[in-house]
Structure 1
Amino acid sequence: MIPAVCATLLALLCAISSPAAHARLTISGPQDPVLEGDDVTLECLSDDDSDMGNYTFERYTTWMKTWFRLDASRYLRCWYFSVNISRSSERLLMHLSDVSEWQTGPYRCVNTDNRTGEEASEPLTINVVYLQNIYLQRVNSWYGYVPDIMWVEEGSTVEVKCTASASQEPMYEWSQEASDWILPSDTLILKNVQEESEGRYVCQARHPDMSSLVKTRSFELRVTKKSVEQVRDAVYGLNFGDILLYIAIPGVMLTVLLFTLLTILIRYRRRQMKKPQISLVDDEKRAPIYKGSLQSVASSTASDTQPLVM
């Protein structure tokens, strides 16, 4: 009975102590998702080595499918790794300033001493939460651009899609200023618009896990009829982007096209004028010489007394 109990206790102690025996190198850092723009500090820890001179940090790149060392003094790293590694006799720290989506991924601590072989810690994954720019796109339109002031004809249909770049699919919501109207969708659809449909429409994108991350984008809708006065008001209401899109860019393209055609025409005319001109003056005409003819050549060869006869 006593030997069996001793064997059980020995096996239990081995099971408890065996993970610790292999967990000699660890990396510490944030366990929760990190907000984009925050600063993060990672530390490499060793259970049996107080000298951290032979240790460094690595990051796994999915593009190269390999671990990439981040020690700036020894290895080349990409520009977007804004890291600062500080090494002392007892501590090895890595500071990530203003983290972005590029720095999402697993990190680990490794031993670079070739005598002991490469030893690595368990990876630590940093999840960066971000919500970036928001865009508006007009659906079923040949250009898709949504200006600050959108002019539409009365009775037409307006369809605008809202998109944003985020670490997770955002939650979208459309609303109208000075109104309690709310549409929980990423696409705004207004059918048979009338004058009462005018106003400023706002799209709001919110991160599902981080309620403080919110982006908004809006445009003003104006309804016009086909009259000279309202068309004139619509032209006066164009902003700088609309002028570039509708007037300046087509005008420049048309000017370049006309200038190119004119240049080609002038060059063609010059080449035609440079060709040698054949004189057809009656005095310089030459009569053909036939077999049996006694007719001589022109005056320039009149000194020749022998007719050209075959």
Structure 2
Amino acid sequence: MNKWAVLFLPTWLISKTVCNSCPHAATLLIKGPTGPILEGEQITLECLYSDAEFNISQVHIEMFSKYTRQWRPFSQRFWCRGYGTEVRMTPDRLLMSVPYASTLYDGSYRCVSDGKNATTPDSCSQVLTIKVHYMGQLSMTREGYSRYLGLSEELKVRSGDDVVLKCSTSASETSIYTWSKNGSDWILPSSQLALMKVSSADGGRYTCTAQHPSVEALRKSRSISISVLPGDAPWYHTSNGQVLLVTSVAAAFLLVFVVSVSVFLCSRAKGIKTAKGPIDDHSQKKPIYRTSAESLLSTSADKQPLV
């Protein structure tokens, strides 16, 4: 690119290009956590000059937006970051404190000087990238059954049944899953445990473990006991039968309740309608007669009413 081409570049593109290419010896520095950050921990960022002659009051913190692909002052994002975030100034540095780290703070940060006397090489610091790691609760489901019904700590199945269990969790990175059986050195490196045509030898306590690939401290596990019943065991002795029985009882109770309420409301409406009776029109007690100037009693000798 020659010097004439640079002259015709838009102003905003020139400023971005210069700021993003700050030399490593820039006097404006940014300090922050260098190791992994876990969800819930505190984050502190600092902006300071290596030369005390520069005024820190003309420095602000910017965050790179993943959506607009632009650098924006962090103060403009304060409202969606949480009320606990604090940005304050000391005589020699600018501090940003986050009391509770979450994935909302994932991204790249830099310190930028907006002073009039700031020279181009010193107008911004190097970029500091923050990554907040987390891992949610470990859930366990059985294939072919709704996850909303949940899975108890003990699973009772009949001999010859198929048992396929799967555990999952949400995390900042794809978790590593393993299955193990208590009292055995058997380990299955998978999120799914498949036991086909189970027998009494398959009974026992199984544990699923999820390990974060980058942070050793993020580790979740959940265990379940599998009891294998005889093949001719009653259906209501199995876990599936018990769930079906409880669901049926709950549905029957709900149906009885709805019918009872409907009958009560219908009976009440019918009783209110009966209590009102026929309309009593007092104007019909004194009919008007053709030869009368005014209304007469119905006991009058004239039997021919006008109406």
TM-score range, shorter chain: 0.5 to 0.7
- Cα 1:164–1:245 change in 2 (3 A) is farther
Partners of 1:232 and 1:269 in 2: CA distance:
48
Judge conservation of contact 2:22–2:124 (CA < 8 Å) in 1.
Answer: no
Aligned to 2:190: 185
Return the letter of the residue paired with 2:136: Q
Q: Which runs of 5+ in 1 are unaligned?
A: 1-17, 279-299
Partners of 2:39 and 2:139 in 1: CA distance:
19
Aligned to 2:47: 44
Partners of 1:267 and 1:67 in 2: CA distance:
68
Return the letter of the residue paired with 1:258: V
Equivalent of 1:127, from 131, 134, 158?
A: 131
Partners of 2:229 and 2:278 in 1: CA distance:
65
- Cα 1:183–1:21 change in 2 (3 A) is closer
Normalising by structure 1, report the TM-score: 0.67
SS at match of 1:131: coil
- Cα 1:210–1:122 change in 2 (3 A) is same
Aligned to 1:151: 156
The alignment status of 1:167 with 2:159, answered yes or no, reads no
- Cα 1:268–1:277 change in 2 (3 A) is same
Partners of 2:203 and 2:84 in 1: CA distance:
47
Judge conservation of contact 2:140–2:166 (CA < 8 Å) in 1.
Answer: yes
- Cα 1:217–1:245 change in 2 (3 A) is farther
Aligned to 1:58: 62
Judge conservation of contact 1:80–1:102 (CA < 8 Å) in 2.
Answer: no
Partners of 1:62 and 1:263 in 2: CA distance:
59
Partners of 2:299 and 2:43 in 1: CA distance:
107
- Please list, as runs of the form range in 1=range in 2, the aligned pairs for 1:207-246 lying within 5 A after superposition: 207-225=212-230, 226-227=232-233, 231=236, 246=247
SS at match of 1:152: strand
Partners of 2:60 and 2:272 in 1: CA distance:
73
Return the letter of the residue paired with 1:92: L
- How far is 1:198 from its partner? 1.8
Partners of 1:131 and 1:41 in 2: CA distance:
22
- How far is 1:251 from its partner? 6.5
Partners of 1:245 and 1:62 in 2: CA distance:
48
- How far is 1:166 from its partner? 1.1
Return the letter of the residue paired with 1:261: S
Return the letter of the residue paired with 1:148: E
Return the letter of the residue paired with 1:87: M
- Cα 1:245–1:231 change in 2 (3 A) is closer
Q: Which runs of 5+ in 2 are unaligned?
A: 1-20, 280-296
- How far is 1:197 from its partner? 2.0
The alignment status of 1:270 with 2:279, answered yes or no, reads no
- Cα 1:206–1:302 change in 2 (3 A) is same
The alignment status of 1:176 with 2:174, answered yes or no, reads no
Bigger shift: residues 209-218 or 198-207: 209-218
Judge conservation of contact 1:43–1:93 (CA < 8 Å) in 2.
Answer: yes
- How far is 1:28 from its partner? 2.8
SS at match of 1:165: coil
Judge conservation of contact 1:81–1:103 (CA < 8 Å) in 2.
Answer: no
Partners of 2:126 and 2:103 in 1: CA distance:
22
- How far is 1:63 from its partner? 6.0
Return the letter of the residue paired with 1:220: S
- Cα 1:75–1:168 change in 2 (3 A) is closer
- How far is 1:202 from its partner? 0.8
Return the letter of the residue paired with 2:93: R
SS at match of 1:133: coil
- Cα 1:117–1:64 change in 2 (3 A) is farther
Identity %, equivalent residues: 29
- Number of residues of Structure 1 aligned to a counterpart in Structure 2: 265
Aligned to 2:302: 305
SS at match of 2:261: helix
- Cα 1:246–1:122 change in 2 (3 A) is same
- How far is 1:256 from its partner? 3.7
Aligned to 1:258: 259
Return the letter of the residue paired with 2:179: W
Aligned to 1:282: none
